[in-house]
Structure 1
Amino acid sequence: MDRLLIKTATAGGSIAHRRFVKFSADGTIVQASAATDLIVGVSDCPNGAVTGERADYILLGIAEIDIGGTVARGAFVTSDANGKAVAAAPASGANAVTAGQMRVSAVGGDIAEIFVHTGMMQGA
């Protein structure tokens, strides 16, 4: 049996299925759009969600996510401009929010599994 921590919030904008999300207000989520966004999970809305609708998101556990670029198995990932997973690679001294770790290698356009757990990474 899968063990997931799933919550529901109100969509503060259009949210696609299998994308990183962040809070925009108490009880409201929007699709993430940058590596610096404080990502809280992965959307789990097979039909997507629009402003005012209820939207499920996975806070912790194994989730499928849309991939925005080449990522290696085990790599820490963050959001691109469309909420898709890309390798977290902050510049020297810069920070990136990490939202999970790849369970498999993947390329842009794939749907792949990640272990959702948030953190922070600083470039060396």
Structure 2
Amino acid sequence: MSRRLWMLATVLAALPVVGVTGCASTSPPPPPESRAGRPDRGAKLIAQYGCGSCHTIPGVDRAGGLVGPPLTRFGARSYIAGELPNNADNLRRWITDPQAVEAGTAMPNLGVSAIDAQDIAAYLYTLD
């Protein structure tokens, strides 16, 4: 009987350690900034392509759309469209051809060029 009590005490003593370490989680690292690209040009392109008709985007005139998700604090997000890890390459890919990433998404293919996507991504990463 004393051996059973000793084993039970040992298991119970270990539970708080297991529980604490098992529940501990760390936030994913923030996405890398898009060092390439011009954020100032990106903000103008966002307005030009009409992104604000679907998205709320801080710092962009007439960008208060409610169709797509708000892009506030975009630079602090972990994923793009719930599909891709949030980094500059994936964001450029999403902006230039969202249907290739997620077929049937409400995000239309607007014909954004690679250089325009780079500048738009640079601007969005300033929103953290």
Shared fold, TM over 0.5: no
Structure with the bigger RCO (C-alpha within 8 Å, sep 6+) is 2
Q: What is the TM-score of this pair, normalised by structure 2?
A: 0.24
Whichever of the two has the greater Rg, that structure is 2
